Amino acid sequence: MPNKKFPIENKNKITRIAKRGHYDKKTIYSILDETLICTLAFVRDGIPFQIPTLFCRIGNTIYIHGSVGAGYMRLFDDEKIPVNISVHLLDALVLARSAFHHSANYRSVIIFSQPKPITNKKKILQILEVLTNRIHPNRWNDVRAISKKELLATKIIAFPIQSASAKIRTGPPIDDEEDYNSKYWAGIIPIETKREKPISDPKLNPKIKIPKYLKK
């Protein structure tokens, strides 16, 4: 990583509780890689719109895929349209002694970008492989491969990360000094997001068992 940090600019600067702001690529990339869904925001006729979608990161670029027929995918043919991409992970609820200091432990990232449609077929296949393996590692090697027709129906948009910042809160509640002797319980309630055991499609041939790589 030649530049380890995104420059702090007006638009990506964390102004509210500045110490929670992070600009280094390692931190930002790790949050992105742990999140499956991002939210794309863009402006149409002066009004903000949002689209939640699966995504992957390769290097300093976010990729999404969709149908060539989707309206918002066509919108991203305009490489000048500013797009904001956000992800967030909720790690814990933070219960302070005072109502005022209740909070959440979270990791969020905001990205500023502009779209670049990908047209190279080889590159599209590479990205679809990464996207599919985000759904589950190794899945790409155990599926009926993309057909030519399906490839033509699939659109991939790249969003190079032009500017970004992360905001992170961790740790126990922070109360006012005089509240630490109060009678109220304080602490955190961790939020756990887990992949449960796979459930076979009711239409699956009963001879096909759940493959090993899906049981991890």
164 is an interface residue for a copy of itself by CB under 8 A: no
Query: Of 29-48, which residues contact a copy of itself (CB under 8 A)?
Result: 36-37, 39, 41-43, 46-48
Beta carbon nearer to a copy of itself, 1 or 184: 184
Query: Of 122-161, which residues contact a copy of itself (CB under 8 A)?
Result: 128, 132, 135-136, 139-140, 142-147, 150, 154
Supply φ then ψ for residue 147, to 5 degrees.
-85, 165
Stretch of 26-34, 56-64, 115-123, 188-196 contacting a copy of itself, by CB under 8 A: 188-196
CA angle 126, 64, 159 (to 5 degrees): 95
Stretch of 19-27, 56-64, 115-123, 180-188 contacting a copy of itself, by CB under 8 A: 180-188
Structure tokens given for 150: 């399906």
Close Cβ partners of 181 (under 8 Å, ≥ 6 residues apart) = none
- Output the furthest CA–CA distance in the chain (Å, rounded): 68
Residue 107's CB is within 10 A of a number of other CB atoms, namely 23
- Please, what is the minimum distance in Å from the beta carbon of residue 2 to a copy of itself? 26
97 is an interface residue for a copy of itself by CB under 8 A: yes
183 is an interface residue for a copy of itself by CB under 8 A: yes
Residue 34's identity, in one-letter code, is E
